[in-house]
Amino acid sequence: MNMEKVLFGFFVVFAATLNFGFFIGDIADPNLHSGIELYSAIVIGLVATVLKLGDRTQIGAIHLATSLVADIQLIVAAVVFTVGQATMNPISAGVMSTVVSFSGGALLANVVSVVLLVIETSSFRRR
């Protein structure tokens, strides 16, 4: 078993599941979307991105691209979330909808990354 591949797969799937956990729920209800989960998704996503930097294959480049897209979308969501919480209490439905929408875009990028991981793993042949 290749521990590097295990860690890579773990962080890719963990980033996707954290993002999904934040995304799920009524889009406008701030009580259903935890800021801690959003910030955790960013941290784990950034770790997954760093792990993808060493791969020089074509599929590795696509993995990196999807990870960067997810990171950027989650960072923008966190900025909007933080500014929304700082300026209004409670956060408005419109601002929460924007945050969740950015998270949804990141989730799509994470799903693409997980699908690529599954395809890459299933096409791997033992030597």
In a domain, residue 46? The reply is yes
**pTM of this structure:** 0.91
Do the beta carbons of residue 28 and residue 93 sit within 8 Å?
Answer: yes
Residues spanned by the domain of 47:
3-122
Assess if residue 80 is contained within a domain. Answer: yes
pLDDT, tens digit (0-9, with 9 covering 90-100), for 73-118: 999 999 999 999 999 888 999 999 999 999 999 999 999 999 999 9
d(CA 42, CA 66): 14
The answer to whether residue 101 sits within a structural domain is: yes
pLDDT for 83: 95
Neighbours of 122 (CB within 10 A): 7
Mean pLDDT value of segment 64-80: 97
CA distance 123 to 79: 39
| 23 in a structural domain | yes
Q: Which of 68-72, 107-111, 122-126 has the lowest mean pLDDT?
A: 122-126
Q: Is there a domain that residue 60 lies in?
A: yes
Q: What is the pLDDT of residues 10-53, one digit of tens each?
A: 999 999 999 999 999 999 898 899 999 999 999 999 999 999 88
Q: Is residue 30 part of a domain?
A: yes
Q: How far apart are CA 102 and CA 122, in angstroms?
A: 31
Q: Is 127 domain-assigned?
A: no
Query: Which whole number is the average pLDDT over 49-74?
Result: 91
Instruction: Please tell me the predicted confidence (pLDDT) of residue 18.
Output: 96
Total domain count, the chain: 1
